[in-house]
Structure 1
Amino acid sequence: MEARIITDRRQWNEFVRDTPTGHLCQTYEWAEHGEDVAARDAALRVGVLDGERLVGAVLLLRSTFGRVPGALYYAPRGPVVPDADGPVLAELMHAAAKLARQRGGFALRVEPNMPDAEPQWAAAFARLGFHPSDHVIYLRNTWILDIRPDEKQLLADMQTTWRYNIGKTGRSGVTIRQGSGEADLDTFYRLQTETAEREQFYLYPKAVFRDMLAHYSPEAAERDATAILTLLIAEYEGQPLAATTVATFGTWAWSMHTGITGDATARKLRPNYLLQWEAMRWARSQGCAFFDFRNIPEVLEPGQPMYGVYEFKKGFGGFFHRNMPTMELVLNPLIYYPYNWAVDLRHNLRARGQKNAAAPDAAHSEAPSKGETAQVETAP
Structure 2
Amino acid sequence: MRTSALDVHPVDPSRLESTPNLFQSPLWGRFKSKTGSRIKAFGLGMGNHAMLVQLRGAASHPLAYVPAGPDVSVPTEEHGFFIEELSMQLRKHLPESCTAVRYDLPWESPYDPVDSPASDQAAEIRMNFGTSYHNIHKAPTDGLAPDTVEIDLSPSEHDLLAAMRPKTRYNIRLSQRHGVDVGSGTAEHLPEWHALYTDTAQRKGFRAHERSYFEKLFSTARDGRPSVQLYLARHRSVVLAGIIVAHTRDVATYLYGASAAHGRSVMAPYALQWHAMRTAKAAGCALYDAFGIPPSADPVHPMYGLYRFKTGFGGRVVHRRGAWDFVYDNETYAVFTAGESASPGYYT
Instruction: Decide whether aligned partners of structure 1 residues 78 and 47 sit closer, same or farther in structure 2, where only a CA change above 3 A counts.
Output: same
Q: Please say if residues 252 and 289 of structure 2, whose CA atoms lie closer than 8 Å, have aligned partners that are also in contact.
A: yes
The answer to whether residue 16 in structure 2 is matched with residue 12 in structure 1 is: yes
The answer to whether residue 292 in structure 2 is matched with residue 295 in structure 1 is: yes
Q: Please say if residues 182 and 233 of structure 2, whose CA atoms lie closer than 8 Å, have aligned partners that are also in contact.
A: yes
Matched residue type, 2:22: L
Q: Please say if residues 100 and 327 of structure 2, whose CA atoms lie closer than 8 Å, have aligned partners that are also in contact.
A: yes
1:250: Cα distance to partner? 2.1
After TM superposition, list the pairs within 5 Å mapping 1:1-380 onto structure 2: 3-7=8-12, 9=14, 11-14=15-18, 16-17=19-20, 23-33=21-31, 39-40=36-37, 42-49=38-45, 55-64=48-57, 69-83=60-74, 92-102=86-96, 104-117=97-110, 129-182=135-188, 184-217=189-222, 219-221=223-225, 227-263=226-262, 266-344=263-341, 347=342, 374=343, 376-380=344-348
- CA displacement 1:220-279 (0-9 Å, x = unmatched): 42xxxxx2111111112222111111111122111111111222xx22111000110001
In 1, the alpha carbon distance for the partners of 2:132 and 2:157 equals 45
Q: Please say if residues 128 and 136 of structure 2, whose CA atoms lie closer than 8 Å, have aligned partners that are also in contact.
A: no
Unaligned runs of 5+ residues in structure 2 are: 1-5, 112-122
- CA displacement 1:115-154 (0-9 Å, x = unmatched): 12499x9579956853333332223211121121100011
In 1, the alpha carbon distance for the partners of 2:33 and 2:106 equals 27
TM-score (norm 2): 0.83
Q: Please say if residues 59 and 76 of structure 1, whose CA atoms lie closer than 8 Å, have aligned partners that are also in contact.
A: yes
Which range is displaced more, 75-84 or 107-116? Answer: 75-84
Q: Specify the SS of the correspondent of 1:278.
A: helix
1:70: Cα distance to partner? 0.7
State the number of aligned residues.
326
Matched residue type, 1:379: Y
- CA displacement 1:196-236 (0-9 Å, x = unmatched): 2222221101121112222223x242xxxxx2111111112
- CA displacement 1:34-79 (0-9 Å, x = unmatched): 7966x33x222122357xxx633222222226xx951211111111
In 2, the alpha carbon distance for the partners of 1:125 and 1:136 equals 25
In 1, the alpha carbon distance for the partners of 2:129 and 2:181 equals 49
Instruction: Decide whether aligned partners of structure 1 residues 168 and 125 sit closer, same or farther in structure 2, where only a CA change above 3 A counts.
Output: farther
Instruction: Decide whether aligned partners of structure 1 residues 2 and 342 sit closer, same or farther in structure 2, where only a CA change above 3 A counts.
Output: closer
In 2, the alpha carbon distance for the partners of 1:26 and 1:310 equals 26
Q: Match of 1:363?
A: none
In 2, the alpha carbon distance for the partners of 1:251 and 1:122 equals 32
Q: Please say if residues 35 and 207 of structure 1, whose CA atoms lie closer than 8 Å, have aligned partners that are also in contact.
A: no
TM-score (norm 1): 0.77
Q: Please say if residues 147 and 284 of structure 1, whose CA atoms lie closer than 8 Å, have aligned partners that are also in contact.
A: yes
Q: Match of 2:119?
A: none
Instruction: Decide whether aligned partners of structure 1 residues 185 and 124 sit closer, same or farther in structure 2, where only a CA change above 3 A counts.
Output: farther
1:161: Cα distance to partner? 1.5
Matched residue type, 1:143: V
1:336: Cα distance to partner? 1.5
Q: Please say if residues 34 and 208 of structure 1, whose CA atoms lie closer than 8 Å, have aligned partners that are also in contact.
A: no
In 2, the alpha carbon distance for the partners of 1:285 and 1:32 equals 27
1:88: Cα distance to partner? 8.7
Matched residue type, 1:108: V
1:160: Cα distance to partner? 1.4
Q: Specify the SS of the correspondent of 1:136.
A: coil
Matched residue type, 1:33: F
In 2, the alpha carbon distance for the partners of 1:181 and 1:106 equals 37
Q: Please say if residues 99 and 333 of structure 2, whose CA atoms lie closer than 8 Å, have aligned partners that are also in contact.
A: yes
In 2, the alpha carbon distance for the partners of 1:378 and 1:125 equals 31
Q: Please say if residues 251 and 287 of structure 2, whose CA atoms lie closer than 8 Å, have aligned partners that are also in contact.
A: yes
In 1, the alpha carbon distance for the partners of 2:195 and 2:339 equals 35
- CA displacement 1:301-345 (0-9 Å, x = unmatched): 10112111000011111121111242111111221234334544x
In 1, the alpha carbon distance for the partners of 2:163 and 2:130 equals 38
Q: Please say if residues 34 and 216 of structure 2, whose CA atoms lie closer than 8 Å, have aligned partners that are also in contact.
A: no
Report % sequence identity: 24
Q: Please say if residues 54 and 66 of structure 2, whose CA atoms lie closer than 8 Å, have aligned partners that are also in contact.
A: yes
- CA displacement 1:336-364 (0-9 Å, x = unmatched): 234334544xx3xxxxxxxxxxxxxxxxx
In 2, the alpha carbon distance for the partners of 1:59 and 1:8 equals 7
